[in-house]
């Protein structure tokens, strides 16, 4: 299964990345530097070339409305992904899509599922001291945001976990790989 994963490793060459971060919620403080780092790192493993992505941090009410409108689910969720995959000639970039993330739900998830990574085999500071940057410890909330960003980016590239067990397992392995790759680089 791991051999089926296609990852494009880059050399130290920097590619053009337009990462629009919009924070339209007021409850949680966000580390935008960390968000940019994770997006660049994850996308560079899946795609080579100039890209653009929109990351919107929103309230539970806002994401609930989007979830109802586009997925016919009348409840708030932690993340929604909208894949575009179109070339924008005016900016000379490939627009991957939009991620809507609800930080208040992410914070609740970080508290509710504290042992998630240990139970599911994810990289965790309890098993191995994975740090996103040397000598920097991140909160469970920040790690949850990192996981949601990676999860959403995988959806933008067509990965899914609603199908059969093989799809679920492939996405889980790739998500874990990208998390570890971002943590130890």
Residues at the annotated binding site for Zn(2+)?
151, 155, 161
Place of tokens 């740090």: 131
Is residue 14 helix, strand or coil? coil
Contact 102, 59 (CB under 8 A): yes
- Strands 93-101, 51-57: pairing kind: parallel
Annotated binding site: 151, 155, 161
CA distances to 3, 49, 53, 74 from 170, in Å = 10, 24, 23, 29
Residue 56, CA distances (Å) to 29, 32, 86, 121, 134 in order = 13, 11, 19, 29, 28
Structure tokens at 169: 């397992």
Q: Where are the alpha helices (DSSP H) in the chain?
A: 32-46, 60-71, 103-112, 116-120, 140-156, 165-184
Task: Provide Rg for the chain, Cα atoms.
Answer: 16
């Amino acid at each position: 299964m791991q051999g089926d994963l296609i990852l494009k490793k880059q050399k130290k060459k920097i590619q053009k990345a337009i990462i629009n971060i919009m924070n339209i919620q007021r409850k949680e403080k966000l580390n935008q530097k960390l968000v940019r780092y994770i997006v660049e790192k994850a996308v560079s493993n899946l795609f080579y070339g100039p890209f653009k992505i929109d990351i919107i941090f929103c309230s539970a009410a806002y994401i609930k409305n989007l979830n109802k409108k586009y997925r016919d689910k009348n409840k708030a969720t932690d993340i929604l992904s909208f894949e575009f995959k179109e070339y924008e000639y005016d900016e000379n970039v490939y627009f991957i899509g939009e991620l809507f993330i609800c930080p208040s739900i992410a914070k609740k998830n970080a508290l509710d599922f504290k042992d998630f990574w240990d139970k599911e085999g994810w990289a965790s500071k309890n098993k191995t001291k994975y740090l996103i940057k040397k000598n920097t410890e991140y909160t469970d909330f920040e790690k949850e945001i990192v996981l949601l960003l990676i999860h959403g980016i995988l959806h933008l590239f067509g990965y899914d976990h609603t199908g059969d067990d093989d799809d679920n397992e492939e996405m889980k392995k790739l998500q874990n790989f990208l998390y570890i790759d971002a943590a130890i680089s």
